[in-house]
Amino acid sequence: MSLQPRELINKGNWCYINAILQALVACPPMYHLIKFIPLYSKEQRPCTSRPMIDRFVQLMNEFTNMPVPLNPRQALGDKMARDISPGAAFEPTYIYKLLMGQQEDAEEYLGFILNGLHEEMVNLKKLLSPNNENLTISNGPKKHSVHEEEQEEQGKGSEGEWEHVGPRNKTSITGQADFVQTPITSIFGGHIRSVIYQQSSEESTTLQPFFTLQLDIQSDKIRTVQEALESLVAKESVQSYTTKTKQQKTGGCQKLIKNIEYPVDLEISKELLSPGVKNKNFKCHRTYRLFAVVYHPGNSAKGGHYTTDVFQIGLDGWLCIDDQTVKLINQYQVVRPTAERTA
């Protein structure tokens, strides 16, 4: 669907919320999921056990289809500006109230929203199937064949932990946190697999679920998202003992002023994937397309502002949204941010 953009009124310190809301509206799977859920008024249902879901259903219904031009080519060139005339601006106060006075940055707020929606869906599944034991099973690897040719998982050990038999009959103990499947995990969920190797001992493997993948970009060697992903899965030595060191005071949270390159189409290389995944030839499952970028201008981590660039499917182009301002932006500006506009 080609949604008509709408500006979000910011009467307070809500730019970090507005930036994430615009990004989530621009995510097609997220939009269609929420639009699939019925919209109820307070009169129809005065009490609710799913306040976050209901508020996001209300938000998505604020956006409607953009009028289709008589000539499809009308959306090109100078005429595009006329076709993206934003709808009436509004203030999503019902979304702001979900925070209950908490102050967070944009990335923290994204995690807050995804976890909140996920937890409400988990509770709804429990209400629908209170005796369904499958609800305690995570959405990661189960006890079945993961390596098509030479891997096998055998249930041993405590709950949430099993012995994994890999290539050349090498074993490892695998533990995994429970992560109930919901539509939110289907869109945003993933798992990090970490393995500890020790001489003359079984490997210890942990599968940890995530919604947002946080990449360390502090090293001077890391200049691209691909390099940050490679650093995330790189092997590192861990000593068998710990030492106490003096913590150097840096004056609190510091913003890292650094541009990281990222493509419009990102393919997760097989080298970054776990055994049992990398050998499956599903290129479409590891190819991602950029649909939104959130920016934080300024040099300080304690203040500043947030804006969002979103891909508008109907126009096959990008929009820059800054609270109550919507303007066209070209793709080159999206993937080549300046020091004043850090992605």
Nearest to 53 by CA among 117, 4, 145: 117
Q: Following CA atoms 124, 185, 106, 88 in sequence, which dihedral angle do they give, to the nearest 10 degrees?
A: -70
Q: Exposed, middle or buried, 172 (CB in 10 Å: 0-12/13-18/19+)?
A: middle
> Residue 15 catalytic?
yes
Catalytic residue among 15, 118, 164, 296: 15
Catalytic residue among 118, 284, 305, 320: 305
Question: Residue 51 — φ and ψ, nearest 5°?
Answer: -60, -40
Q: Are strands 265-267 and 161-165 parallel, antiparallel or unpaired?
A: unpaired
Question: Residue 98 — φ and ψ, nearest 5°?
Answer: -65, -25
| CA–CA separation, 41 and 55 (whole Å) | 11
Instruction: Identify the residue whose tokens are 């076709």.
Output: 83
172, 164 Cβ separation under 8 angstroms: yes
Nearest to 325 by CA among 2, 5, 14, 65: 5
47, 197 Cβ separation under 8 angstroms: no
| CA–CA separation, 308 and 321 (whole Å) | 5
So which residues are the catalytic ones?
Answer: 15, 305
